[in-house]
Amino acid sequence: MVPVGGAIIAGFDDEFIKEISKMYPGRASASPSLDVLITLLTLGASGYKKLLSERKELYTHLAQELKALAERHGERLLHTPHNPISLAMSLDGLQSSCDKAVTQLGSMLFTRQVSGARVIPLGMKQTVSGHTFHGFMSHSDAYPCPYLNAASAIGITKNDVELSIKKPDKCHKALKKEGNIEKKVSWGHHLKDQMNKRCPESNPSFKRCSAHLSWDLSGIKDSVNNSTMIWN
């Protein structure tokens, strides 16, 4: 219910700045703690307890909506019975459609103001103060699948749940479509290379076949560019 703290670090040594950025400098600010105190004093005990009750009810609603979203995209709601706040859905299908699609989904959600959800890719590794963490952000060295995490936090509303489902749904469809087009472009280039090897330029039909295939590839690329403009 309060904004996360932030910090701007500047300097002349790029490597030193990168090391600081890995240590979450934004969490050192006292502003969020002050905001929490003001919020709790404003709510009072009864207001706080009411929000806790609403959070539990909306957790069930979020679970149902996230499960429906997962099923629409051939994914699954992960089984996490000991976590009464956070939920997650797998992203196996998205991972298979494009290598960078999982991290791109996280970026797309953030730019669309879905800042609470986290996308966890496979194989993340981070070094903080000389300690290397495998499976960074997933709380497991080798989690079996990438996933999208969402939480039923205090202060969440039903409208928040609905919006947080619609935006990932739209982004998921866009990324899967983009992945399919990229595969078509890659396959088209492979086909053209094979044709160039098997059809010598002395063959009268070479120029006709090559021109036709080049036109097909440019058509696919145009559809990629047009689709990108629509998604953005």
Tens digit of pLDDT for each residue in 50-69?
A: 999 999 999 999 999 999 99
Residue 118: count of CB within 10 angstroms of its CB: 17
pLDDT > 80? residue 184:
no
Q: What is the b/e burial string over 201-212, where b = at least 16 CB atoms within 10 angstroms of the residue's CB?
A: eeeeeeeeeeee
Name the pTM for this structure: 0.66
Mean of all residue pLDDT scores within the chain: 76
Tokens of 89: 């859905």
Alpha-carbon gap, residue 173 to 48, rounded angstroms: 38
pLDDT at 114: 81
Cα 193–chain centre separation: 34
pLDDT > 80? residue 215:
no
Tokens of 8: 């701007």
Alpha-carbon gap, residue 139 to 115, rounded angstroms: 20
**What single-letter DSSP state applies at residue 5?**
P
- pLDDT class for 199, splitting at 50, 70, 90? low
Lowest mean pLDDT among 39-48, 66-75, 109-118, 174-183: 174-183
Tokens of 155: 């202060």
Question: Containing H/E element for 221?
Answer: helix 205-231
